[in-house]
A = this chain, B = another copy of it.
Amino acid sequence: MTAKILKNVRPMGAELSDLAIVDGRFAADAPEGADLIDCGGHILIPGLVEAHTHLDKSLLGLAWYSNAVGPNLMDKIDNERAVKTTLGLDPQVQSERQAILSISHGTTHIRSHVDVDTQHGLAGVEGIMATREKLAGLVDIELVAFPQSGMMIRPGTLALMDAALSMGVEVVGGLDPCGIERDPKGHLDAIFDLADKHGKPIDIHLHETDTMGGFSTEEIIARTKALGMQGKVTISHAFCLGAMDRAYVAGLQDLLAENGIHIITTAPAFAPVPAVRELKALGILTGAGSDGLRDTWGPYGNADMLDRARIVGQRNNLRRDAEVELALDICTFGGAAIMEIAHYGLAVGDTADCVLVAGETLAEVVAQPAPRKLVLKGGRVTARDGRCVLDAP
């Protein structure tokens, strides 16, 4: 038995208390002789949940990639497949680098999309699977098989998607059924068939805006309902829910709520985004993610989910403390609920995945993110003062 007591800690900003951890879970009491950790009166939150990223894509640790890629989506997709070869990108090394950065910022759970295509096959899946073995106990990684280069427009990809799911990838990914695939019926039938065959949930990238995105959303809803997949389907990005015509969006959102479809936002500043307060009011589960970072798509990003909460807050114009706390909820409990993480939270019996953060209130924690004081995963210290206990390769 291992036991710890977090002394002088404020769970979720509440009054000072002591929290016991026994065998990796929060407990009512700790036995004599438990390790004492003085938390200095700081706030404790549950482990941050990175619900949308691409561990196989980052160029962390490499020389600066000078980006001169064309402006269209297909330019970026084609360029990325080529650059992976020219740079000899190793998905195991890159995913380890990014995962260690995530841990340093207090992330305890990651949902990563991973490219599956006919040029690189399942190398990304294998690389991230190796990383998750290596980092077991430090961070949990869930995989989404992601047909980044298209499936309908790239024959052979569907069989690779099927193979990835057979290898243990947990979630079926998808991508702009109209915008990229040019065949919404074909694409959506294919990914829902995969989900049905493997008994796995879906998380589909939907960058399509306005009524094109709305059309794809309606088609996703129809299949979710027909297959009884309520609670098992997530739309990532969902830019169409940021459309100007709020009456139109309200209709879509009612259907999403009715069919238990979840939303994951990265809250980019340059695109329309789902309005998180509206989703909350409708009871639509909402998570958030960093998306890709420092990759061939763009130079930004830091894998910091507390900074992402700030971005969600600023993008949604959340100013009042209670609103700012919603941004934090999305980056913790929201993502955890979508990923169906068992025993998530700070209550007795929950897994001791938690982060000690600087700030007087939860709103300050989000609005003025500072290096994490301490990160625990299953009661084990994984980072201190913004540094992971492991060095990146």
User: What residues make up the interface of A, taking CB atoms closer than 8 Å to B?
Assistant: 63-64, 66-69, 244, 267-271, 294, 297-300, 302, 310-311, 313-317, 319-322, 324, 359-361, 363-364, 366-368
Complex CA gap A271/B300 in Å reads: 21
Complex CA gap A282/B300 in Å reads: 27
Say whether A299 contacts B67, CB under 8 Å.
no
Complex CA gap A313/B270 in Å reads: 9
* Contacts A269-B269, A320-B67; A364 near B299 (Cβ below 8 A): yes
Say whether B302 contacts A368, CB under 8 Å.
yes
Chain B residue nearest to A312 in the complex (CB): B269
Say whether A298 contacts B319, CB under 8 Å.
yes
Option from B268, B361, B366 in Cβ contact (under 8 Å) with A66: B361
* Contacts A299-B367, A367-B300, A368-B294; A68 near B311 (Cβ below 8 A): no
B-side contacts of A368, CB under 8 Å: 294, 299-300, 302
Option from B64, B69, B268, B364 in Cβ contact (under 8 Å) with A363: B64
* Contacts A319-B297, A363-B299; A314 near B268 (Cβ below 8 A): yes
- Copies of the protein in its oligomer: 2
Say whether A364 contacts B64, CB under 8 Å.
yes
B-side contacts of A361, CB under 8 Å: 64, 66
B-side contacts of A299, CB under 8 Å: 319, 321, 324, 363-364, 366-368
Option from B66, B294, B300, B316 in Cβ contact (under 8 Å) with A270: B316
* Contacts A299-B368, A363-B299, A367-B299; A68 near B314 (Cβ below 8 A): no
Complex CA gap A145/B205 in Å reads: 48
Say whether B360 contacts A321, CB under 8 Å.
no
Complex CA gap A315/B267 in Å reads: 11
Say whether B363 contacts A67, CB under 8 Å.
yes
B-side contacts of A267, CB under 8 Å: 269
Say whether A315 contacts B63, CB under 8 Å.
no
Within the complex, what minimum Cβ distance (angstroms) separates A135 from chain B?
23
B-side contacts of A269, CB under 8 Å: 267, 269, 311, 314-315
Complex CA gap A291/B322 in Å reads: 23
Option from B317, B320, B364 in Cβ contact (under 8 Å) with A68: B320
Within the complex, what minimum Cβ distance (angstroms) separates A322 from chain B?
7
* Contacts A320-B67, A324-B299; A367 near B294 (Cβ below 8 A): yes
Query: With A268-B314, A270-B317, A300-B314 given, can you name 4 additional A-B contacts, CB distance below 8 Å?
Result: A64-B360, A67-B363, A297-B319, A300-B313
Complex CA gap A66/B320 in Å reads: 7
Say whether B321 contacts A66, CB under 8 Å.
yes
Q: List 25 A-B contacts (CB under 8 A).
A: A64-B359, A64-B363, A66-B363, A67-B320, A67-B321, A67-B363, A68-B320, A68-B321, A244-B244, A267-B269, A269-B311, A269-B314, A270-B314, A270-B316, A271-B317, A294-B368, A297-B319, A298-B319, A299-B319, A299-B321, A299-B363, A299-B367, A299-B368, A300-B313, A300-B314
Complex CA gap A321/B322 in Å reads: 38
Complex CA gap A320/B64 in Å reads: 12
Within the complex, what minimum Cβ distance (angstroms) separates A391 from chain B?
18
Complex CA gap A270/B363 in Å reads: 18
Can you list the 7 inter-chain pairs with the closest CB atoms, starting with the nearest? A299-B367, A270-B317, A269-B269, A64-B360, A269-B315, A298-B319, A269-B314
Within the complex, what minimum Cβ distance (angstroms) separates A293 from chain B?
9
Complex CA gap A359/B299 in Å reads: 12
Chain B residue nearest to A64 in the complex (CB): B360
B-side contacts of A64, CB under 8 Å: 359-361, 363-364
In this complex, the member of A314, A324, A363 whose beta carbon has the largest number of chain B beta carbons within 10 angstroms is A314
B-side contacts of A270, CB under 8 Å: 314-317
B-side contacts of A311, CB under 8 Å: 269
